[in-house]
Amino acid sequence: MYHAAMTTTETNIGQVARWFHALSDETRLRVVELLAGGERCVCELQEAVAAAQSRLSFHLRVLREAGLVVDRRQGRWNYYSLRPEVLEEMAAYLRERKPADGACAACGRGAGAQGECCD
């Protein structure tokens, strides 16, 4: 389970794997898209993704355990919302790993005229 916000240099690879695993399913991606518009009741999510309650609960648990969403209970209803700080941390993780423009994958320097490494 995701506990506290970490700087990207402190992010462990296991947590990164949990984030991307949680986003590797179309239903969970659809839930994230819906939650991007704000907090939603489980009943709204269930109707929007056309999933049985048990199946949706499974997907919401995966998202929650990865730290991507939080839930709150109000009366008999559960409401879910995104954790934007975690999504920003994911984006920062990817930005930090983006190759420099013109960098060769093999040596990290510029590519030669034929797309070959400069060595």
What CATH number did the domain enclosing 57 receive?
A: 1.10.10.10
Let me know if residue 28 belongs to a domain: yes
Which has more pLDDT, 117 or 60? 60
Structural domain contains residue 21: yes
Residue 74 forms part of a structural domain: yes
- Write the DSSP string, 32-58: HHHHTTS-EEHHHHHHHHT--HHHHHH
Residue 111 has pLDDT above 90, yes or no: no
| Rounded alpha-carbon distances, angstroms, from residue 119 to 38, 99, 103, 107, 110 | 51, 18, 13, 8, 10
- Among residues 44, 21, 11, which one has the least CA distance to residue 3? 11
Domain annotation covers residue 4? no
* CA 97 distance to own-chain centroid: 16
Q: What percent of the chain has pLDDT over 90?
A: 69
pLDDT greater at residue 68 or residue 102: 68
pTM over 0.85: no
> Does residue 90 fall inside a structural domain?
yes
* Residue 5 in domain: no
Domain assignment present for residue 20? The answer is yes
Number of independent structural domains in the chain: 1
Is the pLDDT assigned to residue 3 strictly greater than 50?
Answer: no
